[in-house]
Amino acid sequence: MRKRPEPGLLTVKTKGNGMLSFSREIGKNRVLYLMMLPSLAFFAIFAYAPLVGLYYAFINFNFIGGLFGSPFVGLKNFEFLFFGGAHAVVWRLTLNTVLYNLAFIFIGNGLQCFTAIILNDIRGRIYKRTTQSIMLLPYFVSFVIVGAIAYSIFNFELGSLNSVLKVFGIKPVNVYMLPSVWKYILVFFNTWKGLGYGTIIYLAAIMGIDREMYEASELDGCNIFQQIRYITLPLLKPTFIMLVLFSLGGIMRGQFDLFYQLIGNNGILFNATDILDTYIYRSLVINFNVSTGTAAGLYQSLFGFAAVMIVNAIIRKINKENALF
Amino acid sequence: MLYAMSKVKDKIFSARSVFDGFGYFYLTLIGLLCLIPFLLVLAGSFTANQVIIQYGYSIIPRELSLDAYKAIFLFPEKIISAYEVSILVTTTGTVVGVFFMSMAGYALQRKELKYANKISFFIYFTTLFNCGLIPWYLLIVGLGMKDTLLALIVPSLESAFSILLIRNFMRSVPESIIESAKIDGAGDFFIFRRIVIPLSTPVIATVGLFLALQYWNDWYSTSLFVPTSSKWPLQYLLYKTISAQFVALSAAAASYFRKGTMPTESVKLATAVVTTGPIILLYPFLQKYFVRGITIGAVKG
């Protein structure tokens, strides 16, 4: 016999497993479970159901056969991507994805941290507020605008870069045909877009530092540089490491918008700038190459998952409560 | 005399002033780097097309011309329909999305639910491993959403991160208030609506703002699912215009301009200004809430 709940005890956990206690649990809290239902349905449909489609990576897709009728080819698609001679693009794509992300993460976080420290300690409140507002503006506009800006600067005939070069008598450059400079351009625009946002996060972290330490150090005769070096930086280090580690978990996921808007379908630049995401997008939109695209996507997801697991293990070692699980 | 001068020298080169001097220089540089690209686009939109073709884009227009804007506003059908789509998609998506996500966030932090943690993990796992673009695309097309506005709204409705953010924030609502409401006979949804939501406006506003911004700037969904140009939202229209695959000028506009004077280049930038202008105009008002939201996300996330 189940004990009657004591008066005053408003939350009662149902005990036991099995269908009866399941329906009892749902029935008891049906409003709450109902409130979760739309979201659950959303993820079931849009995140879990398509997992079945991973099977596309193992078949040679044709329209007539569809998902289950097309011939099963095992790991052939992966062979193609990894060892298929001129088609073995996966190595270059992975290299680009990872290296660009590393640059984005370290340069981005470094500059954001640096800017936050300066913003925090500079005098002049109006100046601080204005600069902060201006810095956040790029975050708001879409990457399409970024593409438009890049076009108006780098376009061969019309871009302002070449106009300026002409004034100095230097021969105009066709940047869109020059793969080597794009790593700098991409890092610049990625940093440009995220600087305001990240600076706010580091500012929040700095505000969490005890003011008393700064006051005590002033009494001891420290100047601003010493304060930054001995108080601010060491106390920001954990935040910096944590933010970098979290970002590193997503190292296999590229900034698709940025790359696609700046590079588009310019094949000349692909060797230097193509990442997994843009390759997969093109394999869908331009080639409709279902098998190869899914194979590349599965590869990306698997290694992305591994990256998050590794990063989480590292975070666990450093600071148990900050770990994701 | 020398003593006085050395005192002045100390003052000028004190650590504080060196820091301030460098700081102001650095921040001004950053400010300029952030502003100048926008000025370039703005200036280009007001420049006469011929000047652009001859001299290229520059920050100071050599010759002012309203031709680009005339082309857009005298024949505004495309921009207006794009605005309608963007506004419809953004408002519907944000309202529905925030509603669903805040319900889930609230329910998931209720301690009396036996399966709350398992369901939280179910949602969280979607951020760790995903199926990739192609299966997702084929599913949405298979559901019959191709070339509909639904495809722009539904697949982007929810984000696992936002749900968990709301969940964590709502945990800070004092349990005693909820308990006393239950004693008074209030149902779960009533408690959610009348007690918890008003106490959670910071996180809900944050999630709403970020979701709205995501919808407004989304061009990706359109490129995948909506080939009909009358259903294009603003950012996609802009993208097509700039990549010169599509000119935002109708046939009527083409006949308005004498042969050879169609402002094709300046129209690209004018379209950019017209599509992004509202965001930039709204920006000063919304900025405060975004900053607050980013801070909430960073601290409690």
Domain ranges of chain B: 2-55, 76-248
Q: Which residues of B touch A155 (CB under 8 A)?
A: 56-57
pLDDT of amino acid A296? 93
Q: What is the pTM of this model?
A: 0.88
Lookup: tokens for A3: 């004990």
Taking residues B190-198, report their average pLDDT. Answer: 91
Instruction: Say yes or no: domain B76-248 is CATH 1.10.3720.10.
Output: yes
Task: Identify residue A295 by its one-letter amino acid code.
Answer: A
Tens digits of residue pLDDT in A69-127: 888 888 888 888 888 877 778 999 999 999 999 999 999 999 999 999 999 988 888 88
Tens digits of residue pLDDT in B61-77: 888 888 888 888 887 88
pLDDT of amino acid B252? 59
pLDDT of amino acid B297? 74
Asked if B112 and A13 come within 8 Å (Cβ–Cβ), the reply is yes
Query: Any idea which of B65-69, B213-217, B252-256 has the lowest mean pLDDT?
Result: B252-256
Rounded alpha-carbon distances, angstroms, from residue B8 to A116, B4, B108:
30, 6, 64
Collapsing DSSP states into helix, strand and coil, what is residue A84?
coil
A151 touching B, CB under 8 A? yes
φ, ψ of residue B21 in degrees (nearest 5):
-60, -50
Q: How far A182 CA sits from the closest chain B CA (Å)?
A: 18
Asked if A301 and B129 come within 8 Å (Cβ–Cβ), the reply is yes
Taking residues B168-190, report their average pLDDT. Answer: 90
Asked if A53 and B122 come within 8 Å (Cβ–Cβ), the reply is no
- Computed over every residue of chain B, the mean pLDDT equals 87
Taking residues B229-258, report their average pLDDT. Answer: 74
Q: Which residues of A touch B160 (CB under 8 A)?
A: 43
Asked if B53 and A158 come within 8 Å (Cβ–Cβ), the reply is yes
Q: Which residues are CB-contacts of A297 (< 8 A; sequence separation ≥ 6)?
A: A57, A280, B131, B132, B133, B134, B135
pLDDT of amino acid B214? 94
Asked if A192 and B33 come within 8 Å (Cβ–Cβ), the reply is yes
- Check whether A303 has a pLDDT greater than 60: yes
Which stretch, A14-18, A62-66, A101-105, B266-270, has highest mean pLDDT? A101-105
Rounded alpha-carbon distances, angstroms, from residue B281 to A158, B45, B210, B276, B286:
28, 17, 17, 9, 10
Torsion A118-A124-A127-A130 (CA) sign: positive
| Closest residue by Cα to residue A289 from B100, B138, B14 | B138
Taking residues A146-170, report their average pLDDT. Answer: 88
Query: Any idea which of A244-258, A259-273, B243-257, B267-281 has the lowest mean pLDDT?
Result: B243-257
Q: How far apart are CA A147 and CA A271, in angstroms?
A: 20
**CB burial of residue A320 (10 Å; 0-12, 13-18, 19+):** exposed
Terminal-residue alpha carbon distance, chain B: 60
Domains of chain A: 90-322 (1.10.3720.10)
Q: How far apart are CA A166 and CA A93, in angstroms?
A: 36
Best residue of B96, B134, B264, B287 to probe chain A, by most A CBs closer than 10 Å: B134
- Check whether A9 has a pLDDT greater than 60: no
Which of B100, B238, B290 minimises the CB distance to A38? B100
Tens digits of residue pLDDT in B14-33: 888 888 889 999 999 999 99
Which of A32, A143, A280 minimises the CB distance to B110? A32
Collapsing DSSP states into helix, strand and coil, what is residue A34?
helix
φ, ψ of residue A72 in degrees (nearest 5):
-75, 130
Torsion B214-A255-A283-B133 (CA) sign: negative
Q: How far A85 CA sits from the closest chain B CA (Å)?
A: 24
Q: How far apart are CA B251 and CA B232, in angstroms?
A: 18
Lookup: tokens for A152: 């108006």
Which stretch, A8-12, A109-113, B70-74, B263-267, has highest mean pLDDT? A109-113
A163 touching B, CB under 8 A? yes
Alpha helices, DSSP H, located in B126-174: 133-142, 150-153, 160-170
Rounded alpha-carbon distances, angstroms, from residue A26 to A30, A32, A186, B263:
5, 9, 51, 64
Asked if B15 and A147 come within 8 Å (Cβ–Cβ), the reply is no
Collapsing DSSP states into helix, strand and coil, what is residue A313?
helix
Of chain A residues 48-87, which have a CB less than 8 A from chain B? 48-54, 56
Top-confidence residue, A10 or A135: A135
- Computed over every residue of chain A, the mean pLDDT equals 88
